[in-house]
Structure 1
């Protein structure tokens, strides 16, 4: 279906979502491996009732595996999963997926091509008589603005519409917790913002506890009450987006939320000297080797004034900003800068570069281990 129709459908009227009895979900010391390959290592995390939490991290960090363990599709090697304080997976219990009150929305939507849209939504309502199940399915479709498509088949719908059908199917049984695995990754970039905002609105109205897996930091910040950042099966940091962005736990967290230029330095008398100037490091001892991470948005470029001598190597217009690559005196590698478009006069080549200390982060250099 043409994308213009998809954009129209994304804004179509819908019924308010039915309220769910939200539950808290806790992971306690979850460890899991495939053969001798560790996937999750002693991970503990609690999702509060009614909270939207995003599991964020690169591919292979364990996000989807944790979701599958919560859903009951996989059994962890060690640790416990608790729903409202009741063990649903662990040494003393293992409830099958259909008895957990947990809904799962797959990345590829997993709609049955031979079933109508209403029958796809009705599929999980096996405990209800057929007429009641159909009525609930139609209600769920109305919530996502697709009641008029009930008798169509999935291939007749756009990607955005299929995503909303999958959401309706996941919400129809009124799950206590909804698990969503990269739910927007297959959508056209023009549709993504509208569908994501509509999905979040539906989750809020339904008051469902939701865990959303994503590898996109901006998407996580747009959706989540809190973000849990994973790396190599371990929890790096958890908290509201403002905390993870402004006070990242380490260089990995800082780099995940924004592009950075990286320098190495040594702390002397509470500060670190860099080719772009001195950076305060009051909490670190003298003679500590540190990494200095400078966000691309934290650089200023001028024709003259105070700063480090630099030469513009390239300039690319990206709409709101220009992306610069610069060679800086005293640095072996070029640095990059994002500056508001047209703020730097065109035609400049030799410039001075300075930095905003608020966009600069200092981390004690991690000791590499084998």
Structure 2
């Protein structure tokens, strides 16, 4: 005998078979993913892949053509029925911060707390400013802050109404690379300390991997893989994900068995078992960290390009017209353009796809 109550989902956010778009054109097709309580997810992909469209649908700014969005086991978007954005308990942090220039830092953070008493609002604002390390700047105005400080204010303002979910729309894209890295880690720490779930939209893989527990790779409005960052890198679901995530390139090979491929770099073995018949023509993904320097190796490709990066140097090697690949070596291994270098493949993860002629 059942109680008749609707079962509560283990997921905070559920997106099922979502399709939406603009002006009669469908931009996002059959999107499915779920985000757990306290988890940070990411929508990652090239420009125009549908990341921001999904975010707008989650925020309630865009109606659905089909599918559903559920938050805490409650339908908030269905075709023909969309819960108003202000009723969703979803906070949003924008790319351009969207701070009110005429309000102080404290005024911006407390803007959404109008229904609280003055004392409660003041206490909440100072607690949040302390959390984002801006307590001493409470009476400053946005134009007096750096970009990173403005983004912290925007985060504190989004957190003030105690949302169930925070949406982050390319929040660090206006900042320099070093500040982006530090701020993304700070934001992750803040969200985790509060136990608040978040969904980040970005095209920056390093940002996605540093901040997020789960990442969706999108292409042309469809999710190609929703997975942990480690699995996206080492166990890509298809050739697009393999080529999009991280660095690397494909070289031709021939399957010798389920876990061995013959190539110009020798026989490459790994941890994955494929079902191809022996002799199947394949393309093998070689990442820069799959190649190691080995003074005794008979394999000696020629350096055709090098990029010095301080602690390391990225080399591009050419073995033949069909086989080029990259390798990342410590910078004290200094080779010159045109020089041949003894190397070998050390690929613990075998990533290959049947070649399409």
Structure 1 residue 347: Cα displacement: 8.9
Matched, 1:277 2:266: yes
1:95 corresponds to which of 78, 83, 88: 83
**C-alpha distance in structure 1 between counterparts of 2:32 and 2:196, whole Å:** 21
**C-alpha distance in structure 1 between counterparts of 2:43 and 2:248, whole Å:** 22
Partner of 2:174: 186
Choose 319-328 or 159-168, whichever is displaced more.
319-328
Partner of 2:353: 363
**C-alpha distance in structure 1 between counterparts of 2:187 and 2:88, whole Å:** 23
1:212-361 to structure 2, matched below 5 A, reads: 212-270=200-258, 271-280=260-269, 282-286=273-277, 287-302=279-294, 304-307=296-299, 309-328=300-319, 330-332=320-322, 334-344=324-334, 349-358=339-348, 360-361=350-351
**C-alpha distance in structure 2 between counterparts of 1:303 and 1:50, whole Å:** 49
Structure 1 residue 189: Cα displacement: 2.1
1:124-143 to structure 2, matched below 5 A, reads: 124-143=112-131
Secondary structure of 2:301 counterpart: strand
**C-alpha distance in structure 1 between counterparts of 2:107 and 2:356, whole Å:** 54
Taking structure 1 as the reference length, the TM-score comes to 0.85
Structure 1 residue 75: Cα displacement: 1.3
Q: Is the alpha carbon distance of 1:73 and 1:131 closer, same or farther for their aligned partners in structure 2, counting shifts above 3 Å?
A: farther
**C-alpha distance in structure 1 between counterparts of 2:153 and 2:11, whole Å:** 23
Partner of 1:171: 159
> Structure 1: 5+ residue runs without aligned partners?
1-21
Secondary structure of 2:69 counterpart: strand
**C-alpha distance in structure 1 between counterparts of 2:27 and 2:79, whole Å:** 19
2:149 corresponds to which of 140, 145, 161: 161
2:51 corresponds to which of 28, 44, 63: 63
**C-alpha distance in structure 2 between counterparts of 1:33 and 1:94, whole Å:** 15
Q: Let me know the Cα RMSD of the aligned residues.
A: 2.4
Matched, 1:34 2:34: no
Structure 1 residue 33: Cα displacement: 2.2
**C-alpha distance in structure 1 between counterparts of 2:333 and 2:182, whole Å:** 30
Q: Is the alpha carbon distance of 1:123 and 1:207 closer, same or farther for their aligned partners in structure 2, counting shifts above 3 Å?
A: same
1:120-171, Cα deviation, whole Å (9 max, x unpaired): 1122223334553344223221221112211111010001100100000000
Secondary structure of 2:77 counterpart: strand
1:191-206 to structure 2, matched below 5 A, reads: 191-206=179-194
**C-alpha distance in structure 1 between counterparts of 2:321 and 2:268, whole Å:** 16
Taking structure 2 as the reference length, the TM-score comes to 0.88
Q: Is the alpha carbon distance of 1:48 and 1:282 closer, same or farther for their aligned partners in structure 2, counting shifts above 3 Å?
A: closer
**C-alpha distance in structure 1 between counterparts of 2:337 and 2:197, whole Å:** 53
2:199 corresponds to which of 200, 206, 211: 211
Structure with greater contact order relative to length (CA < 8 Å, sep ≥ 6): 1
**C-alpha distance in structure 1 between counterparts of 2:338 and 2:105, whole Å:** 58
Structure 1 residue 99: Cα displacement: 0.6
Between the two proteins, the alignment pairs up a number of residues equal to 344
**C-alpha distance in structure 1 between counterparts of 2:276 and 2:100, whole Å:** 61
Choose 128-137 or 65-74, whichever is displaced more.
128-137
**C-alpha distance in structure 2 between counterparts of 1:342 and 1:363, whole Å:** 35
1:306-343, Cα deviation, whole Å (9 max, x unpaired): 32x32223333211211212221x33464322112113
